Amino acid sequence: MPTRRAAIYARISVAQEASVSIDRQVEAAQQYASARGWQVVGTFKDDGVSASEKRPEDRAGWRELLEAPQKYDAVIIWKIDRLSRKLLDFLHADESLQARKAGLVGVEDPIDMTTPQGRAFAQILAVFGQMEADSIRARVADARVKLLKDRRVVGGKVPFGWRSVPNPDGPGLVLAHDPDRIDYVRGMAERVLRGNSIYSVVQWLDEVGAPTPTGRGSWVYGTVERILRHPILAGMTPFNPGSTTKERGSNVLRDGDGLPVVDESVAILPVADWRALVAKLDDNDSAQSRPRALRSKTSALLSGLLWCGEHGGDGIRMHRCTVNGRHGYTCPECSQVISNFEHLVVAEFLRQKGERVRWTRVEEVHEGGAALLPEIEHRLDELDQLIRQATDREVRRELQQQQADLLDLRDAKREEAPNVSLRYEDAGWFEDAWASAGEDVEAQRAVLDDAMERIWVRRGGTGRRTPAQVLARLTIDWKVPEDLGPVDGV
């Protein structure tokens, strides 16, 4: 038997740096050849090509091997998965070798395709190789969906306001609120939902010294907008982070009904609120968005709390007005006016309530089915559109079935009534709450709201008055947290 001539083919993929290096593959093939007394007539290599992506004939090294002038009977490879994980490509490559009257032999796989039996056996191995590649692909896709559903962190950037923490229910990392930053995100969302411009939000962030996502520079419009558009605000997970399609609602992880998978534990807004927020951002983007309101309106400390005490009945709420250039309040009915007294109300509040517990009323609305309704409507709209666009009869039928199921679901959800529960939360002393409100009028208002129901105002004389005289015009109805526990003397 004449000396066999062999060519060596070695390949490494980008994705598998940890796998056997090309040099190692070549060396092993050389040893294989010399152990059998074969003559190596050439060595051909492909670097950085993944086996499931490119067909062998598209690879420079493999083509060179097929076109080489040297004669060879065998091509030595490390394992047949070096050649291809796709069965058809593998068979095609084998055919090309047969045309040159050569066959593959493997160093690690027990194959020798230079004989008919060996060839049949190798083809079976190739089938298994393909099965393995398919199952790896499927496992990777499954794992991603599972990770997302478990709200584990799937690579990518952690959104501003959140951080990744060890999963309390198992392995891996999950997203959780970042206690140092989440309140900034809440503040941004609340302001935009209230109608404040993004420019005013930027200004607010700078004023309170909020850290930027990069930790450098100052806040800019685009950063705020990007943060607020992130579906994580509603506990939803972006599903195609790389996708450039702008189709609304298509970009979050959905369940089998096409409804978003919502994880309320990481959300800061109900889904409907987040959609309203995004709609507001869309409005801002279109049309003439100008830094119209760079200075946010200063809200009055006591507006809504002051009632005219001259009329009996349910009373009449006093309105803000300006008195000699100062702001004050007036009764729309009898036109009595009061101004320059807010500091007195605050002093009285601190004197009477400072060292008492601030009970904060917490309303918990468990929306029942209602929470899902906007999402259902949204998905129904999407389905309408998809059905119109569907050209394939099967696809259309499937979508219509989804639509019918969703309509049933909507009926069921409409019948679930919301369930509101009310409780009071011990929020520490009023004094501390007031101190931590600082100069923020809205925060101060919230503290006063927890302390007082109404401030009644009686008419007073004109001209300068002493604080005692001004106070004498006021009657404060304190909020009495009845049967709320150890709050004596209120």
Q: What are phi and psi of 196, to 5 degrees?
A: -70, 150
Nearer to Zn ion, 127 or 334 (CB): 334
12-18 contact pairs (CB < 8 A, 24+):
12/46, 12/47, 12/48, 13/48, 13/49, 13/50, 13/51, 14/48, 14/49, 14/50, 15/50, 16/50
Q: Is 53 in the site for Zn ion (CB under 5 A)?
A: no
Nearer to Zn ion, 90 or 329 (CB): 329
Q: Is 331 in the site for Zn ion (CB under 5 A)?
A: yes
Nearest distance from C-beta of residue 308 to Zn ion, angstroms? 3
Among residues 236, 240, 239, the alpha carbon closest in space to that of 265 is found at 236
Nearest distance from C-beta of residue 454 to Zn ion, angstroms? 14
Q: Is 332 in the site for Zn ion (CB under 5 A)?
A: no
Q: Is 337 in the site for Zn ion (CB under 5 A)?
A: no
- Measured CA to CA in angstroms, residue 451 lies from 335, 366, 483, 490 at distances of 27, 26, 16, 10
Nearer to Zn ion, 334 or 365 (CB): 334
# chain residues binding Zn ion, by CB under 5 A: 5
Q: Is 175 in the site for Zn ion (CB under 5 A)?
A: no
Alpha carbons 189 and 212: distance in angstroms, whole number: 16
Report the residue from 88, 334, 417, 443 that binds Zn ion according to the rule CB under 5 A: 334
Question: Interacting stretch for Zn ion, rule CB under 5 A, among 21-29, 96-104, 115-123, 303-311?
Answer: 303-311
Q: Is 407 in the site for Zn ion (CB under 5 A)?
A: no
Q: Is 112 in the site for Zn ion (CB under 5 A)?
A: no
Q: Which residues pair with 316 in a beta bridge?
A: 308
Helix (H, G, I), strand (E, B) or coil at 209: coil
Report the residue from 53, 255, 333, 384 that binds Zn ion according to the rule CB under 5 A: 333
Q: Is 458 in the site for Zn ion (CB under 5 A)?
A: no
Among residues 195, 184, 197, the alpha carbon closest in space to that of 233 is found at 184
DSSP secondary structure string for all residues of 35-90: HTTPEEEEEEEE-S--TTTS-GGGSHHHHHHHH-SS--SEEEES-GGGT-SSHHHH
The token duo for 161 is: 């306001």
Helix axes 87-99, 60-67, angle to 10 degrees: 30
Q: Is 310 in the site for Zn ion (CB under 5 A)?
A: yes
Nearest distance from C-beta of residue 310 to Zn ion, angstroms? 4
Nearer to Zn ion, 138 or 334 (CB): 334
Q: Is 308 in the site for Zn ion (CB under 5 A)?
A: yes
Nearer to Zn ion, 199 or 456 (CB): 456
Question: Interacting stretch for Zn ion, rule CB under 5 A, among 141-149, 208-216, 304-312, 390-398?
Answer: 304-312
Nearest distance from C-beta of residue 335 to Zn ion, angstroms? 7
Alpha carbons 270 and 187: distance in angstroms, whole number: 15
- Which stretches of the chain bind Zn ion, using CB under 5 A? 308, 310, 331, 333-334
